[in-house]
Amino acid sequence: MANLKDIRTRIVSVKSTQQVTSAMKMVSAAKLRKAQDAIIQMRPYADKLSEVLSSVSSNLSSDIENKYAKRGTINKVLIVAITSNRGLCGGFNSNVIKRTVELVSVTHKDLATKNKVDVVAIGKKAVDGLKSKGIKVSNSYLELYDKLNFASVSEIAQAIMDSYANGEYDHIELVYNQFKNAAVQNLVNEQFLPVGDIAQTENKPKKSGYKPSYFFEPSMQEIVVKIIPQSLKIQFFKAILDSVASEHGARMTAMHKATDNAFELIRELKLNYNKARQASITNEILEIVSGANAMKG
């Protein structure tokens, strides 16, 4: 049986680990709420934008000039992997990395062998994880989470959209964790560009019956051309916010489990400690008694 002092040190160290994990859980819970608020705050904007887009584009019969529209052949693919900067959040990051590797080596295998698949990493964990899997990361954004706002996100989105518009890539995909609730994240890979058929993909306005006939200024075409990039940026922003909320949710769950495990571990260690203590007391009594007997004899 392990000696008493060893067990005592183990208990102390497990206890302090437990304190750290439970504190991390609290911090994540607070950050999760903030991240969820950000998603809720963005919703009215996104809803209105897609409502206007669908109402404008449904009035528009002819095809509009759109530099984000679909092109014939796919020659080069870009994958954007969105992870966090920090670990200790369960399978959150490794799932994204796994899916990215799968996309590169299975889905786009033919292009990958010709070096026609690029990966952009958002978050430090994606950079490290993909490097260790032997995938070259062509560009990375690590400081995004230090100051997360729409302006900084839309800058990145613009850079990615430009690379599509100027023909560098023909297909762009996002890989990220979609936020469902605090305990559940859905890993998704979503087509970012080219944009789908606008009139079809956007949900139709719910209000039926009275529909005001709008007056458009300057013209429908110009409005659509202006809204499309904006709605792409919103889509990208939403992906980032979802990922952030998922990260905190995942970390909260992971830390909760760690705290529970520490409890269990302490319970076991205490039991062992008491057993060892009892054994040593029994030993001492045995020695005293046998010593006394020897004196008597």
Write out the catalytic residue numbers. 89
For residue 205, whether the previous peptide bond is cis, meaning omega lies within 30 degrees of 0, is no
Short-list 164, 144, 166, CA closest to 153: 144
For another protein, the closer CB: 27 or 42: 42
The verdict on 208 binding another protein (CB under 8 A) reads: no
Q: In a 3-state reduction of DSSP, which class is residue 39?
A: helix
The verdict on 180 binding another protein (CB under 8 A) reads: no
CA atoms within 13 A on the CB side of 45: 15
The verdict on 237 binding another protein (CB under 8 A) reads: yes
Shortest distance, position 42 Cβ to another protein, whole Å: 5
59, 213 Cβ separation under 8 angstroms: no
CA 162/CA 137 separation, integer angstroms: 19
Shortest distance, position 12 Cβ to another protein, whole Å: 45
The verdict on 82 binding another protein (CB under 8 A) reads: no
- Determine phi and psi for 79, rounding to 5 degrees: -115, 130
**For residue 102, what are its two tokens?**
């799968």
> Of residues 230, 235, 261, 272, which one binds another protein by CB under 8 A?
230
Residues 19-58 that bind another protein (CB under 8 A): 38, 41-42, 44-46, 48-49, 52, 56
The verdict on 60 binding another protein (CB under 8 A) reads: no
Residues 98-127 that bind another protein (CB under 8 A): none
224, 60 Cβ separation under 8 angstroms: yes
Residues of this chain that bind another protein (CB under 8 A): 38, 41-42, 44-46, 48-49, 52, 56, 149-150, 154, 212-218, 222-223, 226-227, 230, 234, 237
